[in-house]
Chain A
Amino acid sequence: MQIFADFLNSLTGAPAMIGLLLTAAIIFVSADWRVALSALLVQYILVGLALVDTVRLEFVLVRILTGLLVTAILYLSARYIPIGTHEKEDEVGPHIFGLHVGWLAGPLGFPLRLMASLLVVLLVVRVFQSYTLAAVPMGLALIAFWMAGMGMLGLVLSGHPLRAAVAVMTFLAGFDLVFAALEPSLALVGFLSTFYLLGALGFAYLIAAHSLAGTGTEGRRTEG
């Protein structure tokens, strides 16, 4: 247990920030929903770790727990997609351990998604030249902007509710990173957690409705 606690402790601060940079990028760039959801799960844990020095520990735990539930809800609905969908999916591109790795898998294809994420890097750097909000540490704010940018980009390119859900949750996690430092009210933390959970449930319902209609096949094929 102590080893585990020491490990988590070592992840707070800069490692958590770097992890958040990477997970937001992975969520956007990855073509496979399993990779995207795994990255989202890690992202929620890292958001909690990044906030350890800023907010009370119980609030951090609430955030991590909410993230775990959000990811679980999305994972269960993704699994709900009929078997036929996966069969179609398997026809597209090469795989490693059952995961898509093809250049053209996912929206736009991998190279264009990579270029789009580079544009977000430039945008975040540009926005940060005029950053003035003293109440939020600059590191946290930078990561939050990056996550919000990647989330918005993912949202613009999403053609399937599952991908839109992961993108929106990345955007909201980025917002939470900043807002947690600004508003430490217990009521707000509770309401925000309920808001995230209901949002995830809403997306779960849409994913199920989309796949039940048979349109899921097409959506997942283009989404990877």
Chain B
Amino acid sequence: MTPLPGAIVLLAIPLAAALVAYVLRRWAPAAALVSVAATASLAMLCGRLPLDRSAYVVGQEVAFGRPVVVAGRTLMLDAAGQSWLAFLFALAAVAFVLAWRLKQGRLFFSFGLVLLSFYVLVALLQTFSLAVLVFAMSATPALFLIQGDRPGPVQGGERYLLVTLLAAPMLLSAAWLAGQGQLATENAAMARMALLPAALGFGLLLAAFPFGTWMPALIAGAPPLVGAFLIAAGQAMALFLALFFLQEAPWIVQDAALLEVVQFVGLVTVVAGGLMAAVQRDLGRLFGYAALSDVGYVWLALGTGGSQSLTLALLHAANRAAPILLMGASLALLRHRAGSDAFAGLRGAARRLPIHTAGFLIGGLALAGFPMTAGFATHWGVGRAVAGAHWTWTVLLLASSGGVAIGLLRALGAMLGDEPRDDAGKQPVVRSILVVVVAALVIALGVYPQLFLPPIRRAVEALALF
């Protein structure tokens, strides 16, 4: 019997599970079970199956790395894509487990799986332009997640859609210009013209300053876990596209001046996010700006240059997913109980919901890079990498972390308050256990930050950028 190509497995399972989850949308535990089973098994397959030979999975021979041609286009899983998809499916499995008890809208499971199948297609396509378009198309199913079940303010969804729609033409132009440069050496000037649209496109997707305002708007407007999932998974895919583009235009990573610009953009993003986080009066926006400040470290790490820096950037992108999910899960219950994210409406919440309050704070501290949390090791690594050339930058990075911490302290002050809300229920057991487990993961990553290092090293080697 012919072995089943990996591309088909990776596309068919999430879509089939999405269909089942949609039918079961009124029974959240059943929909969650189907979604978790599908994503966890795919994460395991991506993590374990070899690409160079076939293997048997429940009696069926699967050739994970075998290419498939669909409508003249080759779909193939390579080592980098395999690591990325393993991360995405694992992330989705955790998000679906959390959403089992933290209601995020009936369509979260089904459309979350549809969104994953779009991301799978991005990883499988061998043409950058088509991968960009598929990523941009994924914004439409994401809207169903962002709005949840409620008609209401649409700013979060609108910003997310606009960012992805506007980034696509920029990246297509950049790819064409970079491609012209590869065709003939006399087109070098044209290839350099690719830098501007590429910077604008990836600046939008990876929320570089001043394009990052969509992140706080998304978190404030979407169900918190949905916002967290979209930021962690969506930006991981945007990073995948950025590295895909660098493979098409490898001269960029050898240009020291360009890398300095990337670093500077990262610094400004970190500082702007930290400053804005310090002055927020709303938990959702505080979360958004903390995440914005944290994503600046990915830019900073990328701008340092070299394969070690790429490893650091990818490790940071992977490790930050845990605190982002933790903040999302904690905020979901806090928002649900208080009816709003505003500090003024959260007085006394810390007394009634201490575990979720602590979860939110631990997640925030991890995004600020505090010791013994998931963000510390990579923040430290990036800080050390930039300190040699610019010691003032290290001071600014520390000040930015301080900004996030100030925002968190202000939130804690408001949540402690002196007026416990009578309408706020007691600490729910199952949801508290879920938050405690994710908080433990955030702390475990602080103690053992190299947990995800082996697959990330494989991805860096496969990308072969340096």
Interface residues in chain A, defined as those with a beta carbon under 8 Å from any beta carbon in chain B: 133, 135, 155, 161, 164, 168, 171-172, 175, 179, 182-183, 187-188, 191-192, 194-195, 198-199, 201-203, 205-206, 208-213, 215
Neighbouring B residues of A198 by C-beta, 8 Å: 137, 139-140
Whether B151 contacts A172 by the Cβ 8 Å rule is: no
**Alpha-carbon gap, A182 to B73, bound state (A):** 20
Whether A172 contacts B165 by the Cβ 8 Å rule is: yes
Closest A residue to B151 using CB positions = A212
The 7 sampled A-B contact pairs (Cβ below 8 Å) are: A168-B166, A183-B129, A183-B176, A198-B139, A202-B140, A205-B144, A206-B158
Q: Which of B64-80 contact A (CB under 8 A)?
A: 71-73
Interface residues in chain B, defined as those with a beta carbon under 8 Å from any beta carbon in chain A: 71-73, 127, 129-130, 133-134, 136-137, 139-140, 143-144, 147, 150-154, 157-158, 161-162, 165-166, 168-169, 172-173, 176, 180, 190
Whether B165 contacts A199 by the Cβ 8 Å rule is: yes
Residue from A164, A188, A208 in contact with B130 in the complex, judged by beta carbons closer than 8 Å: A188
Whether A210 contacts B165 by the Cβ 8 Å rule is: no
CB distance from A188 to the nearest CB of B (A): 6
Neighbouring B residues of A209 by C-beta, 8 Å: 147, 151-152, 154, 157
Closest A residue to B157 using CB positions = A206
Residue from B144, B169, B190 in contact with A179 in the complex, judged by beta carbons closer than 8 Å: B169
**Alpha-carbon gap, A188 to B175, bound state (A):** 13
Residue from B130, B136, B190 in contact with A187 in the complex, judged by beta carbons closer than 8 Å: B130
Closest B residue to A185 using CB positions = B129
Whether B140 contacts A199 by the Cβ 8 Å rule is: yes
Whether A191 contacts B134 by the Cβ 8 Å rule is: yes
- On whether A195 and B176 interact (CB within 8 A), knowing A171-B166, A201-B140, the answer reads no
**Alpha-carbon gap, A188 to B190, bound state (A):** 21
**Alpha-carbon gap, A215 to B140, bound state (A):** 21
Whether B169 contacts A199 by the Cβ 8 Å rule is: no
- On whether A155 and B162 interact (CB within 8 A), knowing A191-B133, A209-B154, the answer reads yes
Whether A195 contacts B154 by the Cβ 8 Å rule is: no
Closest B residue to A135 using CB positions = B180
Closest B residue to A179 using CB positions = B172
**Alpha-carbon gap, A209 to B169, bound state (A):** 27
Secondary structure of the A contact surface, majority rule = helix
Secondary structure of the B contact surface, majority rule = helix
CB distance from B31 to the nearest CB of A (A): 21
Whether A199 contacts B152 by the Cβ 8 Å rule is: no
- On whether A187 and B169 interact (CB within 8 A), knowing A202-B161, A213-B152, the answer reads no
Neighbouring A residues of B150 by C-beta, 8 Å: 213
Whether A194 contacts B137 by the Cβ 8 Å rule is: yes
- 7 closest Cβ pairs, A-B complex: A212-B151, A175-B169, A202-B140, A213-B151, A198-B140, A191-B133, A209-B151
Whether B140 contacts A187 by the Cβ 8 Å rule is: no
Whether A205 contacts B176 by the Cβ 8 Å rule is: no
Whether A187 contacts B151 by the Cβ 8 Å rule is: no
Neighbouring B residues of A179 by C-beta, 8 Å: 169, 172-173, 176
- On whether A195 and B147 interact (CB within 8 A), knowing A168-B165, A187-B71, the answer reads no
Other than the given A191-B130, A195-B168, 6 more pairs (CB < 8 A) read: A171-B166, A191-B134, A199-B139, A199-B161, A202-B161, A213-B151
**Alpha-carbon gap, A195 to B147, bound state (A):** 20
- On whether A195 and B133 interact (CB within 8 A), knowing A155-B162, A187-B71, A203-B161, the answer reads yes
Residue from A182, A183, A206 in contact with B161 in the complex, judged by beta carbons closer than 8 Å: A206
Whether B143 contacts A205 by the Cβ 8 Å rule is: yes
CB distance from B193 to the nearest CB of A (A): 8
Neighbouring B residues of A213 by C-beta, 8 Å: 150-154
**Alpha-carbon gap, A174 to B146, bound state (A):** 29
CB distance from A54 to the nearest CB of B (A): 15
Residue from A155, A182, A183, A206 in contact with B154 in the complex, judged by beta carbons closer than 8 Å: A206
Residue from A161, A195, A201, A212 in contact with B158 in the complex, judged by beta carbons closer than 8 Å: A161
Neighbouring A residues of B133 by C-beta, 8 Å: 188, 191-192, 194-195
Neighbouring B residues of A203 by C-beta, 8 Å: 161
Closest B residue to A151 using CB positions = B166
**Alpha-carbon gap, A198 to B147, bound state (A):** 16
CB distance from B247 to the nearest CB of A (A): 19
CB distance from B169 to the nearest CB of A (A): 4
- On whether A202 and B139 interact (CB within 8 A), knowing A172-B165, A213-B151, the answer reads yes
Neighbouring A residues of B137 by C-beta, 8 Å: 194-195, 198
**Alpha-carbon gap, A133 to B170, bound state (A):** 16
Residue from B139, B154, B169 in contact with A210 in the complex, judged by beta carbons closer than 8 Å: B154
